[in-house]
Amino acid sequence: MSKGCITVTKYFLFLFNLLFFIFGALIMGFGLWILFDKESFIAVLQESSDTVKVASYILIGVGSLTMAMGFFGCIGAIYEIRCLLGLYFTCLLLILIAQVTAAVLIYVQRDPLKHEMSVIIRGLIVNYTGQNKTTEHAWDFVQRTMKCCGWTGPGNWSENILIKNGTQKLYSCSCRNDTMPGTDMKEFGLCEHLSEQPPVFEMGCITSVEKWLLDNCGIILGICIGVAVVELLGMILSMCLCKSVVQEDYTKVPKY
């Protein structure tokens, strides 16, 4: 490989590693957001299941590893250090294998995951009081912003202990459909309705979540493919540079 090609490869690899460093910071930030977020659908799952907490720790760990890998890759590329380039290639290969394995597991286990999520949300609705400022208010936020009610539909709220055992006609305030006549709107808690049917959204939140995933499926898939392509290019460039470093080292050996 000529000097010009080596230089181009070296600086391209440096650029890729810089992107990986930024990408690692984003992954770690996303993991921290999942861990500390208190006002979204994630908070509902996090308080009810250890799976989400474990996933957040994994994301933080992967993000930290990716940042470290990007840093060492930058050093290895600029100074042409073979051991760092080899370590960089190995880490990239392991991360790529882990990503493919995770994607396959999520696809294979999608029905059990969906069932677990359904159990978590139904349990939250049954025991809802409006006093829990983490999970319950997070679920209110989901219903209010997604304009949905219950998990499969507003009928889920008939299983709520306070609604079932109370003498008043109550419904979830965050389910309130502002296009229908009724009492003043509240962001959380249980509200009383005077008519036969409560003025709530008819669509369940599972439909809204699935619709959001379908609408953004192309973006999610594109990001995953883009990351995989960048990783493959980084592996190819690191091997090319590592090979050229070996060749350069042998050419510098004195001949007798």
Q: With contact defined as beta carbons under 8 Å apart, do 169 and 194 qualify?
A: yes
Q: Which residue is listed with tokens 């209110």?
A: 140
Cα-based angle 131, 137, 140 (whole degrees, multiple of 5):
120
At 167-213, the pLDDT tens digits run 888 888 888 888 887 666 788 888 888 777 888 888 988 888 888 77
Q: What is the pLDDT of residue 52?
A: 63
Helices and strands, counts by H and E, the chain: 9, 2
Low-confidence spans in the chain with pLDDT less than 70: 1-6, 34, 37-53, 132-133, 182-184, 245-256
Q: What is the pLDDT of residue 255?
A: 47
What pTM did the predictor assign? 0.60
List, in order, residues 6 or more apart from 116 with CB less than 8 Å away.
49, 51
The HSE-up count of residue 246 (CA atoms within 13 Å, CB side) is 9
Q: What is the pLDDT of residue 189?
A: 86
User: Which among 95, 68, 165, 88 has a CA at the least distance from the CA of 126?
Assistant: 165
Question: DSSP secondary-structure letter at 174?
Answer: G
d(C-alpha 245, C-alpha 176), whole Å: 67
d(C-alpha 74, C-alpha 11), whole Å: 9
Instruction: Determine the 3-state secondary structure of 172 from DSSP.
Output: strand
d(C-alpha 235, C-alpha 88), whole Å: 8
Q: How far is CA 247 from the centre of its chain?
A: 43
d(C-alpha 10, C-alpha 16), whole Å: 10
d(C-alpha 132, C-alpha 120), whole Å: 15
Q: What is the pLDDT of residue 104?
A: 80
Where do the structural domains in the chain lie, given as residue ranges? Answer: 122-203
Cα-based angle 201, 141, 173 (whole degrees, multiple of 5):
50
Q: What is the pLDDT of residue 250?
A: 39
